[in-house]
Amino acid sequence: MDIKQLEGFVKLAKTLNFSLTAQSLFLSQPTLSHWIKQLEKELGFDLFKRTKREVELTTAGQSFYEDCQYLLEHFHKSVEKARGYSEKYSKQLVIAYENNSLALAHLSSIIQKFSFLYPEIQIILKSTNHIQKDSLFLDQKVDILFTVKDKVTKASNVIFEELYRGSYMCVLSPKHPLADKENLAFQEIEGEALLLLDPMYCPDEMKKMVEQIRHCCPRSPITYVDPQMTGCTMAKSGHGLAIMPDFICISDPELCQIPFQVDESIPYGIVWRHSHASKFLDEFIKIAKETYHVQTH
């Protein structure tokens, strides 16, 4: 089975006429008939009902025709897209990021500035999560990773550059009794229903904070949430007070974000492999550092 056979089948399915279809493809009618027979043999079912007077699609043929139109359309688009890349770009830079407010606020600006300097480099952007990011990076499927300081940042041949120091926030409904506070500490949330990030799915630094909260607030009923959107949604509905880093809090007028008075913070930054160092990679890191410094200070 090849693309030409599929294109011949789609054209024949439209005309239901072997002679007209063969002419449009600059083929002999026997050649077209052979293509269709070979295709039916490979598929294991008939595509057309043939009589001396007419040709019509079988039920299976109609179904296959509808899907083939979609497949061929996207195949040709993919070829054109790839051809454009081969002509325009000389290299690729694959970037992975965790979906949070820091990435949303700064990543597009960084890419725009970098692409202005290096238009010949194709940017491939991948959204990932805490579970997938380590394997993506360590398996060398990405060149650069935006993430919190975690296990992957301690691996050999890896460089971590901090771009932002996150602080912890208490996220709660405006109707919550503590919503009018300027900041909150352990003694004030003790006994309150708490919504904490699930230790199974969060970085080590956040796991330490979860353990500290559990130790300091033994009377508080705790619900573990994942992802952070779940915690914010539950807080919004009045089912507790969520505690999480500021850069993963969602912006919502029906939620209050109050600073949590703890010494701990969350380093967030950019990770790359020392062995992949290059002039354009160095430039990307430089732009990222400049962008975060300007926009967060």
Model confidence pLDDT, tens digit, residues 204-224 = 888 999 999 999 999 999 999
Q: Using one digit for the tens of pLDDT, what is the confidence trace for 139-155?
A: 888 999 999 988 888 88
- Whether this prediction's pTM lies above 0.75 is answered by no
As a whole number, mean pLDDT of residues 28-55 equals 89
* Residue 211 · residue 267 · CB < 8 Å: no
CA distance 171 to 169: 6
What are the beta bridge partners of residue 162?
269
* pLDDT, position 87: 65
Angle, vertex CA 202, rays to CA 198 and CA 208, nearest 5: 85
As a whole number, mean pLDDT of residues 219-245 equals 93
The distance between the two most distant Cα atoms of the chain, rounded to a whole number of Å, is 90
Check pLDDT > 80 for residue 277. no
- What is the pairing mode between strands 266-273 and 194-197? unpaired
Check pLDDT > 70 for residue 296. no
Check pLDDT > 90 for residue 51. no
